């Protein structure tokens, strides 16, 4: 996707602070962290949002979640974390490439919104 910010990060056209990368996924630190440790995990294939997950492409979502515990540890999270995916306007999704926020590094609020 030519005009997708996260596809550009995957391609290396925009720099990122990488935490983990393999042939299927990339994890990097959020540029505007909302917790002491805030990492984004994205598939290297362009999927716009949770709304676009199907039986055909959900394997990559499972793969992301299989890797999230390792990515959280690599990022320095020790005592738990929150995983969030904002989907669509009301959830304030700003980048239309599927991503999962990993938030940790401190006691988080009991409120989720
Ligand atoms: P969302 O609002 O759920 O779509 O999340 C998009 C996230 O991408 C936000 O938390 C932004 O701070 C983050 N972000 C935007 N541009 C960059 C960038 N160049 N590098 C790292 N994170 C970014
Ligand atoms: Zn993309």
* CA of 14, nearest ligand number: 1
Q: Is 92 in the pocket of ligand 1 (CB under 6 A)?
A: yes
Rounded to two decimals, what is the model's pTM? 0.98
Query: Phi and psi for 108 in degrees, rounded to 5?
Result: -85, 160
* CA of 88, nearest ligand number: 1
Catalytic residue status for 99: yes
- Span 84-113, mean pLDDT? 97
Can you give the pLDDT at residue 1?
76
Q: Is 16 in the pocket of ligand 1 (CB under 6 A)?
A: yes
Can you give the pLDDT at residue 94?
98
Can you give the pLDDT at residue 84?
98
- Span 93-101, mean pLDDT? 98
Q: What CA–CA distance (Å, rounded) separates 18 from 29?
A: 7
Summarised one tens digit per residue, pLDDT across range 16-37 is: 999 999 999 999 999 999 999 9
Q: Which atom of ligand 1 is nearest to the CA of 93?
A: 4
Q: What CA–CA distance (Å, rounded) separates 48 from 42?
A: 11
Q: Which two structure tokens, joined as six digits, stand for 22?
A: 């393999």
Question: What residues pair up with 84 in beta bridges, in sequence order?
Answer: 101
Summarised one tens digit per residue, pLDDT across range 44-73 is: 999 999 999 999 999 999 999 999 999 999
Q: Is 60 in the pocket of ligand 1 (CB under 6 A)?
A: no
């Amino acid at each position: 996707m030519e005009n997708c910010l996260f596809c550009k990060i995957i391609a290396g056209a925009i720099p990122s602070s990488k935490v983990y990368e393999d042939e299927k996924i990339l994890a990097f630190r959020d540029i505007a962290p909302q917790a002491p440790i805030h990492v984004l995990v994205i598939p290297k294939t362009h999927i716009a949002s949770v709304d676009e997950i199907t039986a055909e492409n959900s394997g990559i979502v499972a793969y992301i979640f299989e890797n999230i515990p390792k990515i959280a540890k690599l990022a320095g999270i020790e005592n738990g974390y929150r995983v969030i995916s904002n989907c669509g306007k009301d959830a304030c999704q700003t980048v239309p490439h599927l991503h999962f926020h990993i938030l940790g590094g401190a006691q988080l609020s009991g409120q989720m919104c």
